[in-house]
A and B are shown apart, each in its own frame.
Chain A
């Protein structure tokens, strides 16, 4: 059971905006950098966003991240078919002394 909570799925039509929430606690999201990863089918994860810092090179500005208190979110605007993937939030946890991943959210482009 993941300590970072994400919905299992989210969907939207092409061009729409989709937001994925990630809920944690004061020992992880509340204190540390929140990272978002995109995993396309059959491939390794890719760093998409580390909240509060510039997007990694090559990541479209359609992807944005935010954090408030012990929650974070990933927004995808102008949804495209190639955005169909599983998205994971992650953060270091000061109490557990380890990195926590959310359970993953599968984004479906309708």
Chain B
């Protein structure tokens, strides 16, 4: 079964750090561009970050730029999001999402991991 499973969420103090992981199974992560998307309680979806297949191209939302770092380990079929200098407004469910088409069409989503700051 093709799936993504996030982990690493939890409760953290403002100014603290968390590292989220996203494990892929049922497909080869190295063939796909990947993204992180978050959803604050009761709010809509907000794109957070993108990473290319090789990791050579990375983009961030302005709201997290300079504080969050996305990375991937294709050998481990895993995606990561290092979150530093956390703020209350970072409180959200964080989803990793696969770009299935190369056109930022997110065809596979994880179940999400909750981050509370």
Which A residues form the contact surface with B (CB < 8 A)? Answer: 2, 32-33, 35, 37, 39, 44-47, 50, 53, 56, 86, 88, 90-92, 96-104
| A residues less than 8 Å from B107 (CB atoms) | 47, 56
Within 8 A of A (CB), among B75-117: 95, 100-101, 103-107, 109-112
Contact A45 B45 (CB under 8 A): yes
For the complex, what is the distance from the CA of A43 to the CA of B101, rounded to whole Å?
22
Q: Is the interface of A mostly helix, strand, loop or mixed?
A: strand
Q: 19 more A-B contacts (CB under 8 A) besides A86-B44, A90-B106?
A: A2-B44, A32-B103, A39-B45, A44-B95, A45-B95, A45-B109, A47-B100, A47-B105, A47-B106, A50-B101, A50-B105, A53-B105, A88-B44, A90-B47, A98-B59, A99-B35, A99-B37, A100-B47, A104-B44
Whether A92 contacts B45 by the Cβ 8 Å rule is no
Q: Is there an interface contact between B45 and A50, defined as CB atoms closer than 8 Å?
A: no
- Report whether B104 and A92 are in contact in the complex, using a CB–CB cutoff of 8 Å: yes
Closest chain B residue, CB of each to CB of A88: B45
Known: A32-B103, A32-B104. A103 touches B44 (CB 8 A): yes
Which of B44, B100, B103, B112 is close to A44, meaning CB atoms less than 8 Å apart? B112
Chain B residues 44-76 with CB under 8 Å of chain A are 44-47, 50, 59-62
Whether the pair A50, B47 counts as a contact (CB closer than 8 A) is no
Q: Known contacts being A44-B111, A45-B106, is A101 close to B47, with CB within 8 Å?
A: yes
Partner of B106, one of A2, A35, A53, A103: A35
Please, how many angstroms separate the alpha-carbon atoms of A86 and B45 in the complex? 11
